[in-house]
């Protein structure tokens, strides 16, 4: 009996040792390796985040490509580098056909060859009795801004690994300005420009279009508010100042969220005398320049409301901070349209829109074209999450490229009214999400990833913004507000899932669409 018990104990010990050595120990090793570095293998082995069983994306028709230098980036302690090395940020879109690219090389080059041949020398004859500095303009077919335009496709403004974007940011910081003029908004106000397709002028903003020596073009928004100032509580969102640092921060946030729907933006010190006044042929623009009592060069906008010397911006004595946003291709070569936001706010002191008083408003929107099918409504919800994180209440319209039809992505343009209040979270911005209870799987899993300590949103944003020459771009309270707001977005999603179930709320969107975008006529025929 004693020998039998001893033999039985030895047998169990051997079995347990074998399990420990061959099964449990390898699993523990793999877990330990996974906590130290990210997988650099193929898509079949990708481990994607999931919190509370919310989302596990399907990766059919998409491939994971590990980025160059992913392992070396991981070893530097860079959270941003580890984020961009994560499999979720390296799911490559399928090969793009001509119909999925906004512009083709031959088309764009022919456009600028004709533009170059039509270029007229404006010196002396264009402006009477005014000395204008003339710069030589050359066309470089390898310019970074041209590569950026050629990289725009059906899915985003640029690919995750497009080298043209960081090069364009660097170029915009030093490119010679050869011409300054009013933007389309101001020209539309004056009746000079018929830009009603995409321009909704409010007559409040101070921004200029700057042309560079190689035909590049950027929108300049000057500094109007110090970084540590908050928008006063009694100021309505539609008369709030535009902030240059908000434009810069919005570009970085859009990239961190992997939307890639904001054109590249960088900060720059601009000489308002040498790079605006002395290179403009526009007499109206020259007329708003003056010298302040402190001997600083100042200018103000010509518009409907707050456009007088009291609201001017001034150099110190000539240098002025501002944001430079890369222009998108012109409307004549890449048409786009402006569409009212279904969750547009009232732009009066007393009015309220239907969505503000009707909690079932989204049920009506879901029945209307183009929100009754495809990704348009989901893209609106993406935009509302983006705006909530920045605190931007001024999203009255959105724009899309007409070439991509109803399935095209929404451009996240004009973000200068964000980051005004770090101490207040405006939950009404999230109305599209809270009322519709829908979210893309890709959006949700990235939000969950950015809520983790190892990829904390405020940390990666702080690191990303250090790349800008005007750093610091955001104060610490604004950075910390991003984490707080992200948690609120996730809580809204969790409440929706508890009410309706995950399958009704989380929409799988990783698989490539097999149907071509439908036109408005085709949609009406099928309804």
In degrees, to the nearest 5, what angle opens at C-alpha 408 toward C-alphas 403 and 410?
120
CA distance 418 to 182: 23
244 and 322 in contact (C-beta within 8 Å)?
A: yes
Whether 136 has a binding-site annotation, put simply, is: no
- DSSP-H helix ranges across 37-132: 70-75, 79-85, 105-117
326 is in an annotated binding site: yes
Distance of CA 47 to the CA centre of its chain: 26
- Residue 522 among known ligand-binding residues: no
Cβ neighbors of 276 (< 8 A, separation 6 or more) are 177, 180, 208, 210, 220, 270, 285, 299
Query: Kind of pairing, strands 439-440 and 397-401?
Result: unpaired
The DSSP 8-state label assigned to residue 215 in this structure reads S
Per DSSP, which regions of 369-514 are E strands? 397-401, 439-440, 506-507
Binding site annotation covers 328?
yes
Rounded CA separation 209/224 (Å): 17
Residue 490 CA to residue 156 CA, distance in Å, equals: 24
CA dist., res. 516 & res. 100, Å (int): 10
Tokens 């989901």 correspond to 378
Ligand-binding annotation for 83, yes or no, is no
Of 162, 181, 254, 394, which is the active-site residue?
Answer: 394
Q: Is 120 helix (H, G, I), strand (E, B) or coil?
A: coil
- Decide if 74 is catalytic: no
Q: Cα–Cα distance between 390 and 381 in angstroms, integer?
A: 14
226 CB-near residues (< 8 Å, 6+ apart): none
319-326 sheet: strands from edge to edge: 177-182, 208-212, 217-222, 319-326, 265-271
Phi-psi region for residue 374, left (φ > 0), alpha (ψ -120 to 50) or beta? left
Question: Of 181, 244, 253, 243, whose CA–CA distance to 217 is shortest?
Answer: 181
Instruction: Please state the separation of Cα 265 from the chain's center in Å.
Output: 10
**Closest by alpha carbon to 330, among 492, 171, 187, 197?**
197
Is 325 assigned a ligand-binding role in the annotation?
yes
221 assigned to a ligand binding site: yes
Q: Are 461 and 479 in contact (CB under 8 A)?
A: yes
Would you say 385 and 236 are in contact if contact means Cβ atoms under 8 Å apart?
A: no
Question: What is the spatial distance between Cα 386 and Cα 241, in angstroms, rounded to a whole number?
Answer: 19
Instruction: Give the annotated binding-site residues.
Output: 221, 325-328, 399, 414
What residues are designated binding site for ATP? 221, 325-328, 399, 414
Would you please indicate which residues are annotated as catalytic (active-site) residues? Answer: 394
């Amino acid at each position: 009996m004693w020998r039998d018990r001893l033999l039985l104990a030895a047998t169990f010990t051997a079995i347990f040792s074998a399990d420990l050595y061959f099964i449990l120990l390898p699993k523990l090793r793999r877990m330990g390796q996974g906590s130290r570095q990210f997988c650099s293998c193929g898509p079949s082995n990708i481990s994607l985040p999931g919190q509370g069983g919310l989302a596990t994306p399907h990766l059919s028709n998409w491939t994971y490509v590990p980025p160059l230098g992913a392992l070396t980036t991981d070893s530097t302690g860079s959270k941003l580098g580890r984020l961009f090395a994560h499999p979720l940020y390296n799911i490559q879109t399928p090969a793009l056909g001509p119909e999925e690219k906004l512009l083709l090389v031959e088309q764009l080059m022919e456009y600028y060859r004709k533009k170059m041949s039509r270029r007229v020398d404006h010196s002396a004859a264009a402006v009477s009795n005014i000395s204008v500095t003339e710069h030589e303009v050359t066309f470089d077919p390898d310019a970074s801004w041209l590569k950026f335009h050629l990289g725009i496709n059906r899915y985003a403004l640029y690919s995750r690994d497009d080298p043209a974007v960081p090069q364009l940011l660097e170029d915009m910081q030093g490119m010679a300005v050869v011409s300054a003029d009013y933007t389309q908004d101001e020209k539309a106000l004056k009746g000079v420009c018929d830009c009603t397709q995409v321009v909704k002028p409010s007559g409040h903003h101070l921004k200029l279009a700057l042309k560079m020596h190689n035909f590049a073009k950027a929108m300049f928004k000057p500094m109007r508010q110090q970084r540590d100032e908050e928008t006063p509580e009694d100021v309505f969102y539609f008369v709030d100042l535009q902030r240059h640092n908000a434009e810069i921060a919005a570009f970085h946030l859009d990239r961190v969220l992997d939307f890639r729907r904001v054109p590249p933006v960088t900060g720059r010190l601009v000489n308002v005398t040498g790079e605006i006044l002395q290179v403009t042929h526009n007499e109206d623009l020259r007329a708003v320049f003056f010298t302040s009592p402190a001997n600083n060069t100042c200018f103000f906008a010509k518009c409907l409301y707050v456009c007088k010397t009291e609201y001017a911006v001034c150099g110190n004595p000539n240098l002025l901070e501002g944001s430079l946003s890369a222009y998108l291709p012109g409307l004549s070569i890449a048409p786009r349209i402006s569409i009212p936001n279904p969750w547009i706010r009232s732009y009066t002191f007393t009015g309220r829109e239907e969505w503000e008083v009707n909690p079932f408003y989204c049920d009506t929107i879901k029945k209307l074209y183009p929100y009754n099918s495809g990704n348009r409504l989901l893209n609106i919800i993406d935009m509302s999450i983006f705006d909530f994180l920045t605190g931007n209440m001024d999203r009255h319209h959105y724009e899309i490229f007409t070439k991509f039809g109803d399935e095209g992505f929404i451009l996240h343009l004009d973000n200068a009214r964000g980051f005004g209040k770090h101490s207040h979270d405006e939950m009404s911005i999230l109305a599209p999400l809270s009322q519709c209870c829908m979210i893309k799987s890709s959006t949700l899993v990235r939000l969950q990833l950015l809520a983790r300590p190892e990829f904390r949103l405020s940390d990666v944003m702080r690191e990303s913004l250090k790349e800008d020459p005007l750093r610091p771009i955001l104060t610490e309270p604004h950075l910390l507000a991003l984490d707080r707001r992200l948690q609120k977005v996730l809580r809204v999603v969790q409440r929706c899932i508890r009410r309706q179930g995950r399958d009704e709320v989380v929409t799988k969107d990783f698989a490539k669409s097999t149907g071509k975008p439908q036109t408005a006529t085709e949609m009406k025929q099928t309804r």
